[in-house]
Each structure stands twice: as C-alpha cells, then as structure tokens.
C-alpha cells in the first residue's frame, strides 16, 4: 500500500510539473504542402514531358485498333468465316498488346510519382527537423490534428523554405 501511495504521489508531482512547463508545439499540414510545393509542380511537368511521346503512341495505336474493328464490321458480309475469325484474333492480340503497354506506362507514372513524393517528404522532414531544433519545438504534429491555432502552424514556413530550394 505504501508503494502504491508513493507511486501516486510521484506521478502526481510529475504531471503537475509537466502541466506547469510550457510546451512549444508545431503543426504541419502535409496536404497543403503537397498542393503548393514547387518541387511537385516541376516533377509533374517533367513527367508530362517524359511521357508525352509514349502517350501519343498509345493514342495512335488505340485509334488504329478502332479502325481495324470498324473495317471488320464493314467487310464482315464479304469475308469468309475463317477470314473473320483471323481478323478478330488479330484485333484481340492488338488489344492485349495495347493493354500491356498501357499498364506499363501507368506503372512508370505511379513509380515516378511515388519517388517524387518520397523525395519531397524527405525534404519536408529535414526542414521540420531544422525548424524544431533551431526554434526549440518540443512536439511537431503532422496531419491528423482536428484544429490548430495559426500560431502553431509551421506549414507556411515550410512552403516558403521549399520555394527557396531550387530543385
């Protein structure tokens, strides 16, 4: 019983000292940073430029397949059943090849975006670490905070520092 009461007294003292100490808290809105970071805008432009030709090639191939399907519909009454089957097989093969190319392109896009986001998150974390150390923050929260006073919001500072980085 004595040990329990001593533990309660120690815990009460600790809680009282924590309550009296003023914590410096910061909050970071990662969604806002992701929407305003110039690094992501640059990465998006780079991605568009890199994938413009493959995307055009896919559009042209899709139009070609559609033309093959339309031509088959027009010629169907003049073709033998073997010729119709052969053309349908060719169209199906082209569609499968098209879908494989499209999936590969989508995978490249996804990988590029994931790398860009990971790189940006690392830069943001470095900035947060720097701010927290230099300005002596005790706690910095990322998303998941229902409300934070603007005086605790570090997001504008981080966006300003991201804009200053030429990357």
CATH code: domain of residue 123: 3.30.910.20
Res 40 pLDDT > 90 = no
pLDDT for residue 144: 74
Determine, yes or no, domain membership for 151: yes
Q: From CA 22, how far away is CA 115, in angstroms rounded? A: 39
Res 7 pLDDT > 80 = no
Determine, yes or no, domain membership for 18: no
Determine, yes or no, domain membership for 16: no
Task: Give the chain's domain count.
Answer: 1
Res 129 pLDDT > 70 = yes
Task: Determine the structural domain holding residue 118 and report its residue range.
Answer: 24-164
Alpha helices (H) in 30-154, listed in sequence order: 30-36, 38-75, 81-134
pLDDT for residue 17: 54
For residues 17 and 57, the model is more confident at: 57
CA atoms within 13 A on the CB side of 8: 5
Q: Which residues contact 76 (CB under 8 A, 6 or more apart)?
A: 84
Determine, yes or no, domain membership for 1: no
Q: Band of the pLDDT at 8, cuts 50, 70, 90? A: very low
Determine, yes or no, domain membership for 65: yes
Q: Which residues contact 119 (CB under 8 A, 6 or more apart)?
A: 39
Over the stretch 66-96, which tens digit does the pLDDT of each residue have? 999 999 999 988 889 999 999 999 999 999 9
The distance of Cα 92 from the centroid of its chain, to the nearest Å, equals 34
140 strand-pairing partners: 26
Contact criterion met (CB below 8 Å) for 115 and 46: no
Determine, yes or no, domain membership for 57: yes
The least confident of 14-23, 75-84, 129-138 is: 14-23
Report CA dihedral (118, 120, 123, 125) to the nearest 10 degrees. -70
Determine, yes or no, domain membership for 88: yes
**Average predicted confidence (pLDDT) for the chain:** 84
């Amino acid at each position: 019983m004595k040990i329990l009461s001593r533990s309660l007294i120690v815990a009460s003292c600790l809680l009282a000292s924590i309550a009296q100490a003023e914590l410096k808290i910061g909050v970071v809105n990662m969604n806002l940073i992701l929407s305003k970071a110039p690094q992501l805008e640059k990465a998006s432009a780079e991605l568009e430029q890199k994938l413009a030709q493959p995307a055009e090639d896919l559009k042209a191939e899709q139009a070609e397949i559609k033309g093959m399907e339309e031509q088959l519909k027009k010629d169907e009454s003049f073709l033998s059943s073997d010729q119709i089957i052969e053309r349908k097989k060719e169209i199906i093969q082209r569609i499968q090849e098209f879908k494989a190319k499209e999936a590969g392109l989508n995978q490249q896009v996804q990988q590029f975006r994931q790398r860009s986001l990971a790189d940006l998150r690392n830069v943001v974390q470095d900035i947060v670490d720097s701010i927290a150390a230099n300005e002596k923050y005790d706690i910095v929260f990322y998303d998941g905070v229902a409300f934070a006073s603007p005086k605790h919001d570090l997001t504008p500072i981080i966006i300003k520092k991201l804009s200053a980085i030429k990357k």
